Structure 1
Amino acid sequence: MTPAPALAEDEPPQEHDDITVEGVRQPYRGDFKLREIPQAITTIDAGTLRENNILRLTDALDLNASVARQNTLGGLWDSFAVRGFAGDENLPSGYLVNGFNAGRGFSGQRDVAGIERVEVLKGPAAAVLGRGEPGGSINLVTKQAELGRTFGSASLQYRSFDTVRAEGDANVALTGNVTARLIGYAESGDTFRDTIHQRRWGFLPSIAWGIGANTRVIYDLEWTRVAVPFDRGIVVLGENFRTVPRSRFLGEPGDGDTVARALGHQLRLQHDFGGGWSLLVGASHRDTRLTGASSDAETAVARQKLFLDGRTLSRQRRTRRYESAHSVVRAEIAGEFATGGLRHRVLIGADGDYFDTDQYFTRFRGPVVTAATTDRQSYAIDILDPVYGRWPAPAGVPITNRLDVQRALGAYVQDQISITDRLQVRVGGRYDDFLLRVEDRLLNKLGRRRTGRFNPQAGIVYQVSDPLSVYAAYGQGFRANIGADARGTVFDPETSTSVEAGVKLTAFGGRLNGTLAVYQLEKSNVLATDTANPGFSVAIGKARSRGVELDVNGQLPGRVDVLLSYAYTDAEARSRVLDPNFSFQILPGDRLINIPDHNLNVQLAKHMTFGTREALLGAGVHYVGERSGQTGTAFELPGYTLARIFGEVDLTREVTLFGSVSNLFDTRWYANSYLALWVQPGAPRTATIGVRARF
């Protein structure tokens, strides 16, 4: 067992020098050392994920304080904010896979099986990314086939609540220049929530083909399925977070599972021309589908019996069929040249992005509550003594039947110029042409919006000394807002401006790295949840986020791994907006939902040797401050502190025993909320034990 490698300053950021053996260069990145990049970048590597026994992307992102949890549609998609900005709260958060826009759609929460590392790319990167959030992007680098090698591993683990998981990874050299890597997982078991049983599986193979010494082709497949009942969480009355036990399920087990499926393909080719020049060409396509039914707490005050007697919860009955198709094609040339005494390192690229979402959603809701309204009419359940299946499931009527079509073409150029041995300047820009078409089949209305925009970027890096560099960056960007509001009006795109400055420090020969950054982000045409029409958004105008971040990652003397991440985030609305349905008012200074002011994660792990056996023991603490729990109201989620311990020991050279305990002190905590009647409680103390074999 070897320690998780720290990111050395003498190497490009998590990229491999030998492209014919190790992997394909990451798009949008170029060949730069971390200290040369005018941007804060942090990495969560496979060793850290394995040691903490992290299984979901959402949990992995908790290790970086710049990322905050958002509404996850009853635990059925990934949703997060980077530096206070989340994008559209009614859609999954997009992320990159191997540098390609590939995380959009309705595929369920991403499993970390098959992930080599998670990169949190923070700050203004509009010149190349263009259409992303200004706070940053999440890039997942997958475990890819490694040419000429044969190795593998398999693990079996048992977790609290009778959950069993099996996972396998085999890299097999088929010929001297063709290698296949087969990765798969399967998981099944209960959860801490009453009646909730979940099942997940995935198959993530990769095939690499080396064509000569300078060309490599790699293909990745993603085939996954998640089946779990839709779960809106608990209700909170009068700020009493113990209104019901955190385990209480307030839906209907008879609704069955909501099922999320994904089938994706990614093909990439890299060719090295020599002399520092290379070409990267690739394409990806991903289909997703989410289907199921749920029984959710009614959100309208006038229709909610719970506010009258404190125990009878009126509910809606909902069904969903959400589908998406996402295709991306892209090409990028990277290289360097000199003009006079100046060294230029350039990226020149273009991409096309095609994203379609088809959403069909039905809803039943009870009448306005009067003295004559019956529990059956309200499809009600007693929150203190629930009886499931008391009423037949009522039929809903279509609320959403809409096709959203996005077509985007973009081209970019970036040049990083070495003025002296210590001073570098980065300039760049990107032009995007974007088309959004919204076909509302219920309103028989077709909306269309086309936008073209140029986004500049500039940065400067100065190396004060070998271990210390300072940087500053500026960027503009935009992101199209998908869909329309409850009245069918197509949203304008978001626009943003970002400013960032920071200090980067490396120590112990590159084994320990740290970044201290300050930033300010401003956005226009921001969307927020329309609480009167769940599933829809409302434009709130302008928003601003500013903050301070500290990230330290690497290894201290004595074989002690350290990870420290702290963020202070001040994210707020900057416009006065009255919801069109008069359900709430947003005022300048109102906090953005689910964004804590303070977020901290710190952990230490000690590597040890007992004779010929390697072992590791680690512990960590995660603190999240108070957060707004409902847009435009005073409702807040309380802060929390979670502790965890983890460890592993080699039983033989090939077999390792591992275990972990999360939420060690069984803290009551709340991961996110949509409003006070839809609050997601966090898991209680959870223990895992397992065995891993490798060859």
Structure 2
Amino acid sequence: MNTIKRNHISVLSIAVSAILAPSVYAATASPSIEKIAVSGVRQAFRGDVPLSEQPQSIEFISAEKLNDAGVTTLADMFDLTPSISEQNDFGGLWESFAIRGLVGDESIPSGFLINGFSSGRSFSGTRDTSNIDYVEVMKGPGSALYGRSEPGGTINIITKKPQFEEQGSLKVSAGSWQSYRGEGDYTNAISDQLAFRINGAIEESESFRDYHEDKKTVITPSILWLISDTTKLNYELEYVDQSVTFDRGIVAVGGKIDALPIETFLGEPSDKPTEVDAISHQLTFEHQIGQWSLLNGFSYSDSKFISESSDAELAPSRQVYFTDGETLSRQHNQRDFQTKNISARIELSGSISAAGFTHHLLIGGDASKFDFDKLWYRYRPTLEDTRYAINMYNPVYGQTAPEGSLLYNSTEIQHSYGLYIQDQIDITEQWKMQVGGRYDWFDQQIDNHINQSQSKSDQSTFSPRVGLVYAYSDDIQYYTSYSEGFRPNSGYDINGDAFEPESTSSFEAGIKFSTDAVSGSFTVFSAEKSNMLTTDLQAGVSTALGEVTSEGIEFDLHGDITDHTSFDFAYTYTDAKTANDTVNTDWWVKLPKGSPLLNIPKHSANARLKRELNDLNATIGVAVQYEGERLGETIDPTYYLPSYTLVNLFANYHVNDDVSIQLNINNVLDKEYYANSYSAIWTQPGEPVNYKLSLKYSF
């Protein structure tokens, strides 16, 4: 064991030394590296105000950074920023995350934006990175503009757009656990006014987890039409076909998180894999009217999610493991979820002079319709019923699942309408004030087909937003902002009543700076929300947790150590907790005010060093991620996931201008860690040391 550790440290020392060593290479031209710019397609909610003058902290994650890290899914991207905390991902089938400690409904995928359109709520599998140009982590108040966002912030994915010059790439990868991936991207002009792009990926892999397989196909064609010098039309389609094993992870036996080997699979290998079939369309129309811009958009998505799984039973009154310490009682679940989401948006932005000030105006409206059909059969064992139980230490598979009973058969329809306006006023060259707000109308109808009941709710609310920016110099800006918002909750409680929407408020203040050598920001934030949902482990349904708060600080720094060496560092402190006393009436467990929130670390940090070795036509780098301890179960304040530090290495060698080879070694110190948890019985272990080797041809 000591020899293995010394070897790991030796590899790491060599990598760090190479990165930090003084430059001794001749100044030769860097090899040609693919860099495809976006063809000037305007993003929603921006107006004509530069991001540096916005009273908001925004973190950019480029395609280059994603590629360096070997990231292929949005969930993998969460590890690149300490502001995002990974949450329970429903057996590895969707993205669930918290920004600044606050998360939405954990029973459905977390919401995010794709080119400014609301996404994520659909059951579209794990988001692939093959068509991502860059990602914006827009922190802090946003509901007053975007609608439906969390007070901690939201993620906006910007996809690759068609170009009028021929460019493309083909990439193949192979890695640990028989992981194979092919990826392609091609764009070209059809005419002087018409360009197209198509990209996508095909992937097959197993896992360090026993009996785990994943297959995915993603295809994303798009077309851009320059109708005139002032008018553009852009269309994108995305198709996803994914088949993946449903996996709830391991059991922390007696609270001992490493009691079972991390590869132990406690489901049933004969269960059919979860099948995801999703398609989405986006159409945007942009027209320039003098100094004003008109932006229209339409989005439609359709997803199907069919799943079969054998999950460890959570309730102690039904779980044999709590009696004998080795026999795990299991549920059997069959799910059929289908969603349709239609949205439209219109936005006008520009500047006017009035009352001696310049006003940067942003005026818009949007509407959406979300349909969710939910069919779910579940078998739950009693303490005496061990027909479908399994020995955790010596699992023997092959039991026939007992017939389940109907748990959900419902249709939910949500209609949302919103109007928003924002005015950023140039008071002086240094002082900028932002005021605005959003008015939302929301109605929800849930038909319970089991008992033929119907639940309806509707609400309207105004969400104000105010901010202030002081430009101390061209390099330093101070800012502060405050916003209120709301987010409708999906589903109904154990009594069949629709949940009240979440209401939120958020405040932040900070400094942004940028010089020739370094750039970065420092932010202090505070947010609160009510009617946050969590899961009742006894009943197996969602329940309202009440009010929660999150306070903390963020610091990030980026720059160049030498002409050939760059660095990134980011740190986040988050104190997320309940704001009132609550009692879980099924467990009769009191959750006192100040109880920590699930899967949220107080301390998290990332650091990265990257060095260009020009004489060798190569790039090498090291990335370090730290995640503090996190609460692992809502009703058990003693169960924590331990903190961990991961070290990842990457290297890229350019054979010539067109061909490159990349090697990624993740968790090089082979640290045993646990990524997220739903309870001590559903805990997800992280990946041990693994590698990926890629060959890329660019043209």
TM-score by length of structure 2 reads: 0.94
SS at match of 1:366: coil
CA contact (8 A) 2:33 2:657 kept: no
1:526-675 to structure 2, matched below 5 A, reads: 526-534=532-540, 536-582=541-587, 584-610=589-615, 614-634=617-637, 635-675=639-679
Q: 2:484 aligns with which of 445, 454, 476?
A: 476
Deviation (angstroms), 1:562 = 2.0
Q: 1:503 aligns with which of 506, 511, 515?
A: 511
Equivalent residue number for residue 205 of structure 2: 189
SS at match of 1:307: helix
Deviation (angstroms), 1:465 = 1.5
Instruction: Kindly indicate whether residue 520 of structure 2 is the aligned counterpart of residue 514 of structure 1.
Output: yes
Q: How far apart, CA to CA, are the structure 2 residues paired with 1:598 and 1:380? A: 38
Deviations 1:2-30, CA, capped at 9 Å, x for gaps: 6899xxxxxxxx9x8xxxx7131110122
Equivalent residue number for residue 34 of structure 1: 51
Instruction: Kindly indicate whether residue 299 of structure 2 is the aligned counterpart of residue 290 of structure 1.
Output: no
Deviations 1:301-335, CA, capped at 9 Å, x for gaps: 12111122221111001111011111110010110
CA contact (8 A) 1:4 1:46 kept: no
Deviation (angstroms), 1:529 = 1.6
CA contact (8 A) 1:362 1:398 kept: yes
SS at match of 1:684: coil
The residue identity in structure 1 corresponding to 2:249 is G
Deviation (angstroms), 1:541 = 1.4
Deviation (angstroms), 1:181 = 0.4
Q: How far apart, CA to CA, are the structure 1 residues paired with 2:473 and 2:394? A: 66
Shifted more, 592-601 versus 521-530: the winner is 521-530
Equivalent residue number for residue 9 of structure 2: none
The residue identity in structure 1 corresponding to 2:322 is F
Q: How far apart, CA to CA, are the structure 2 residues paired with 1:541 and 1:26? A: 35
TM-score by length of structure 1 reads: 0.94
CA contact (8 A) 2:337 2:372 kept: yes
Q: How far apart, CA to CA, are the structure 2 residues paired with 1:533 and 1:231? A: 21
SS at match of 1:385: coil
| CA 200–115 in structure 1, closer or farther in 2 if over 3 Å, else same | same
Q: How far apart, CA to CA, are the structure 2 residues paired with 1:499 and 1:576? A: 24
| CA 258–561 in structure 1, closer or farther in 2 if over 3 Å, else same | same
1:134-283 to structure 2, matched below 5 A, reads: 134-146=151-163, 148-275=164-291, 277-283=292-298
| CA 362–583 in structure 1, closer or farther in 2 if over 3 Å, else same | farther
Q: How far apart, CA to CA, are the structure 2 residues paired with 1:279 and 1:448? A: 36
Q: How far apart, CA to CA, are the structure 1 residues paired with 2:561 and 2:374? A: 51
Q: 1:388 aligns with which of 384, 393, 397?
A: 397
The residue identity in structure 1 corresponding to 2:619 is L
| CA 512–179 in structure 1, closer or farther in 2 if over 3 Å, else same | farther
Equivalent residue number for residue 70 of structure 2: 53
SS at match of 1:62: helix
Aligned residues: 668
| CA 582–4 in structure 1, closer or farther in 2 if over 3 Å, else same | farther
Deviation (angstroms), 1:52 = 1.0
Q: 1:62 aligns with which of 60, 73, 79?
A: 79
| CA 584–322 in structure 1, closer or farther in 2 if over 3 Å, else same | farther
Equivalent residue number for residue 448 of structure 2: 440
| CA 55–91 in structure 1, closer or farther in 2 if over 3 Å, else same | same
The residue identity in structure 2 corresponding to 1:341 is G
Q: How far apart, CA to CA, are the structure 2 residues paired with 1:661 and 1:359? A: 41
Instruction: Kindly indicate whether residue 421 of structure 2 is the aligned counterpart of residue 413 of structure 1.
Output: yes
State, as a whole percentage, how many aligned pairs show the same letter.
Answer: 39
Q: How far apart, CA to CA, are the structure 1 residues paired with 2:84 and 2:579? A: 21
Deviation (angstroms), 1:229 = 1.2
The residue identity in structure 2 corresponding to 1:481 is N
Q: How far apart, CA to CA, are the structure 1 residues paired with 2:380 and 2:618? A: 56
Deviation (angstroms), 1:208 = 0.6
The residue identity in structure 2 corresponding to 1:299 is L
Equivalent residue number for residue 345 of structure 2: 330
Equivalent residue number for residue 24 of structure 2: none
Deviation (angstroms), 1:438 = 1.3
Q: How far apart, CA to CA, are the structure 1 residues paired with 2:590 and 2:246? A: 29
Equivalent residue number for residue 14 of structure 2: none
The residue identity in structure 1 corresponding to 2:311 is D
Deviation (angstroms), 1:239 = 2.1
Shifted more, 483-492 versus 655-664: the winner is 483-492
Equivalent residue number for residue 9 of structure 1: none
The residue identity in structure 2 corresponding to 1:441 is H
Q: 2:102 aligns with which of 59, 63, 85?
A: 85
CA contact (8 A) 1:68 1:82 kept: yes
| CA 2–580 in structure 1, closer or farther in 2 if over 3 Å, else same | farther
CA contact (8 A) 2:142 2:150 kept: no
The residue identity in structure 1 corresponding to 2:552 is G
Q: How far apart, CA to CA, are the structure 2 residues paired with 1:34 and 1:182? A: 29
Deviations 1:330-387, CA, capped at 9 Å, x for gaps: 0101101112431111100000011111111111111233xxx5x32xx111111111
The residue identity in structure 2 corresponding to 1:101 is S
Q: How far apart, CA to CA, are the structure 2 residues paired with 1:556 and 1:282? A: 43
CA contact (8 A) 1:531 1:583 kept: no
SS at match of 2:317: helix
CA contact (8 A) 2:188 2:196 kept: yes
| CA 595–178 in structure 1, closer or farther in 2 if over 3 Å, else same | same
Q: How far apart, CA to CA, are the structure 1 residues paired with 2:608 and 2:427? A: 39
Equivalent residue number for residue 680 of structure 2: 676
Shifted more, 250-259 versus 483-492: the winner is 483-492
Equivalent residue number for residue 11 of structure 1: none
Deviation (angstroms), 1:577 = 1.7
Deviation (angstroms), 1:268 = 0.4
CA contact (8 A) 2:319 2:382 kept: no
Equivalent residue number for residue 120 of structure 1: 137
Deviations 1:208-240, CA, capped at 9 Å, x for gaps: 111111111110011011111110000001221
CA contact (8 A) 2:144 2:438 kept: yes
Q: How far apart, CA to CA, are the structure 1 residues paired with 2:139 and 2:558? A: 16
Equivalent residue number for residue 3 of structure 2: none
Q: How far apart, CA to CA, are the structure 2 residues paired with 1:417 and 1:556? A: 38
| CA 164–348 in structure 1, closer or farther in 2 if over 3 Å, else same | same
Q: How far apart, CA to CA, are the structure 2 residues paired with 1:114 and 1:53? A: 14
Q: How far apart, CA to CA, are the structure 1 residues paired with 2:452 and 2:259? A: 43
SS at match of 1:286: strand
Q: 1:43 aligns with which of 60, 63, 66?
A: 60
SS at match of 1:60: helix
Q: Which runs of 5+ in 2 are unaligned?
A: 1-30
The residue identity in structure 2 corresponding to 1:434 is F
CA contact (8 A) 2:524 2:552 kept: yes
SS at match of 1:48: helix
Equivalent residue number for residue 363 of structure 1: 378
Equivalent residue number for residue 689 of structure 1: 693
CA contact (8 A) 1:587 1:632 kept: no
Deviation (angstroms), 1:557 = 3.7
